[in-house]
Amino acid sequence: MRLRVLGCSGGIGGRHLRTTSFLVDNDILLDAGSGVGDLSLAELTRIDHVFVTHSHLDHVTSIPFLVDTVGGMRAKPITVHASAPTIEILRQHLFNWSIWPDFTEIPSAEAPFMRYEEVELGRTVELDGRTFTPIPAVHTVPAIGYHLDSGEGSLVFTGDTGPNDELWKVVNRISNLKVLIIETAFSNKERQLAEVSKHLCPSMLADELAKLERRPEVWITHLKPGEIELTMEEIEAAAGDHRPRMLQNGQQFEF
């Protein structure tokens, strides 16, 4: 499997700052933030599945534009995989005919441009030998992360999460873990904000990584524009042997 970073920022502000979105091989999105908009039309038409961690706008903003742009060019609907609470939020607050049309009914309910597929913690979805397993996350809305496994190696994306003991119980059982992508949204001076919003800051990240028994590559996502250098300096000072590095647009991981 190959994962390409389309967006990994906690905000916008120039081509290098796009919100959370990853392209898996050529046909799957893992979250669909603003980075999806940099794909070509040909690339967009090949996307069959979108796995969503949670409903916040920086993770789903491109789904409406994706479906609207390529729905009529495809022979089958795009499948949006998400937890039941997240699907309900998308139905009520995004694809609700007020913010955006409900593409599960366009051009007809029998042959729509988009469909939902409910996922559950621990229940694996297999697509052509590639598996996607929802894992625990702790956030201000219902949220999950994902464990991606090619059979030869694994990648874990935590999604947005605060301190999360249940996550590490799962991650420490993954024997072929090669890559861990974990968020750190705030610097240490904003720890209170991180706690309230259920994100991480560098000191909290260090506490979380102390629970990690595996030795994958550790990459940091969701850094806030304007505090990137400060936050990474604090991470490097506190994170110990795991030596986290900053995720950047355009990076690719094979596993």
Q: What is the pLDDT of residues 16-33, one digit of tens each?
A: 999 999 999 999 999 999
The Cα–Cα gap between 218 and 215 comes to 8
Decide if 209 contacts 194 (C-beta within 8 A).
Answer: no
Determine the residue type at 212: L
The Cα–Cα gap between 22 and 222 comes to 13
The pLDDT value given to residue 14: 87
Determine the average pLDDT of the residues in 117-140: 98
Q: What is the pLDDT of residues 66-102, one digit of tens each?
A: 999 999 999 999 999 999 999 999 999 999 999 999 9
All domains of the chain in start order, with CATH: 2-254 (3.60.15.10)
